[in-house]
Chain A
Amino acid sequence: MIERAKSGIESLDELLIEGLPKPSSIMLITPRTRLINVICAKFLIKGFDLGEGGIYITTQETPKEIKEEAQEFNLNLADYERKGLLSFIDCYSLTHGLKLKDDVKYALKFPEGLNDFFKLISHTSRKIESKTKVKSIRLVLNSFSDIINAFKQDKKRTFSFARELQARLRTTSSLSLSIIYKGLHESILESMIYPASDIVLELKRKSNEAFLRIRKCHKTLCKNDWFKLKFDLGNLILI
């Protein structure tokens, strides 16, 4: 019997026959769009509803900016952080020479900090688990593209990293959602990450609308068609 968990996008769960197989390393290949913040937030919030904790690893913005953007969509990540269910790992500020804000407990500087990346995730997970007694942790990595760039687009290191993330999830029965921004890398690098991902989703924009498709999902037979993705009344839905 495959254990499955909800993604935060209802119709996606139906396409995946009741949800994401656990554990799964999910890659979302996407152009830049504000929907990404919503997808990441909804993914984590669904986990909180199911008794899981969450770690948001940010390489693109400060945790404060992420929380503020989520709030614009009525997604109150700050509240979950206050309850101890959510922790941010700020990989943005120090990398770009900024001072850490007071609310940041965990931070890494790229590329040196990559050596401690998994250790810090384990440490943060243990803190959340001991404080809240959650069953497992969801991870958001926004974005994997910055990891690739920190590795200077080195194929071997990129693949090893993706593979290590996938393997570590096996030991904790967790889910991770990593964002890859299209066009920032050679296509060969994106292709390399496929075998190291359990689920690959693609997002595209056309005429101001967003479309999502499942490119690969382990343990599941599913359609590969494009579906329109909408944020409506606080919910993400596929049409």
Chain B
Amino acid sequence: MGKFKFGVLEFDKEIPIFGGESILIVGDPGVGKTFFCLIITKETLMNNGKVIWITTDMSPKDVRESMERLECKALDYEKEDKLRFIDCFSSRSGEEPIEEKYYVKDPSALHEVAISINNALNEIKEADLIVCDSLSGLIFDAGASSTLRFMREQIARFRIKNIANIWVLEGGAHEEKTINTYRAICMINLDMWFEAFNGLERYIRIRKAPKAFPSKKIKFEITERGMIIKND
């Protein structure tokens, strides 16, 4: 088994990961998709794993700060060659971030993203986990079918190399058939959503996973300690 861990007991028990699995997280805006990915990243790093984080929705600096708040010092892991960021966000500002080694000037040119992933993998001598937060950013830039092709190719490569990969998709921001197409090519599907009760309550569900049944919905909270499962 690889060094990948969800960092949430229910998922580490329910979903066996042997390396190379592709995981799609579809969720409502603000429900905690990025936060969940940060928890998983922290667990993988603390488990002596290596992570590549492709960021389209936040700058790498923002992701590092978010990891710091979870008591995971991103810069230290970068110095140890255990963590790399691929910056598909900063090109929007029109200014090249000189401090980012893997800066993608044109995220709509997905071959550039692929090259950056390859270079990062070579530099840190392979990885245990690759996170893409989010696919939605790539779809809006490059189009749904190009991004689908890109994702298929990357999933196949990661499968051969035994690298777990997580892809985040913004629910509600794409047509249902687009979302279903992406669901079909990933081995594991997780859904996250809000339900309005007293305020907004957060839920997560295993929609699909090999050797696991779809789960019932699980209520969770986001706290400074991490993701807390709430049993009703």
The answer on a CB contact under 8 Å between A168 and B93 is: yes
Write out the residue numbers on chain A whose beta carbons fall within 8 Å of the beta carbon of B134: 195
The answer on a CB contact under 8 Å between A194 and B29 is: yes
Write out the residue numbers on chain B whose beta carbons fall within 8 Å of the beta carbon of A187: 172
Evaluate whether A167 and B90 lie within 8 angstroms (CB atoms) in the complex, with A191-B170, A195-B134 already known: yes
| In the assembled complex, B231 has its CB within 8 A of some CB on chain A | no
The answer on a CB contact under 8 Å between A167 and B89 is: yes
Looking at the complex, which one of A170, A196, A224 makes contact with B90 (CB distance below 8 Å)? A170
Q: How far, in angstroms, from A195 to B199 measured CA to CA in the complex?
A: 21
Which label, helix, strand, loop or mixed, suits the secondary structure of the A interface?
A: helix
| In the assembled complex, A4 has its CB within 8 A of some CB on chain B | no
Contact residues of A between 123 and 173, Cβ < 8 Å to B: 155-156, 159-160, 163-164, 166-168, 170-171
Stretch at the interface among B55-63, B117-125, B156-164: B55-63
| In the assembled complex, B180 has its CB within 8 A of some CB on chain A | no
Q: How far, in angstroms, from A170 to B94 measured CA to CA in the complex?
A: 11
Ranked nearest first, the 7 interchain pairs of A and B with the lowest CB-CB distance are A167-B92, A194-B29, A216-B30, A191-B172, A167-B93, A224-B200, A225-B199
9 CB contacts below 8 A, A to B, read: A167-B89, A168-B93, A171-B93, A192-B140, A195-B136, A215-B30, A216-B29, A218-B62, A225-B199
Write out the residue numbers on chain A whose beta carbons fall within 8 Å of the beta carbon of B136: 192, 195
A53 to chain B, nearest CB (A): 20
A203 to chain B, nearest CB (A): 15
The answer on a CB contact under 8 Å between A166 and B140 is: no
Q: How far, in angstroms, from A216 to B62 measured CA to CA in the complex?
A: 15
Q: How far, in angstroms, from A2 to B65 measured CA to CA in the complex?
A: 9
The answer on a CB contact under 8 Å between B224 and A221 is: yes
Looking at the complex, which one of B29, B194, B223 makes contact with A191 (CB distance below 8 Å)? B29
Contact residues of A between 198 and 230, Cβ < 8 Å to B: 200, 215-216, 218-219, 221, 223-226
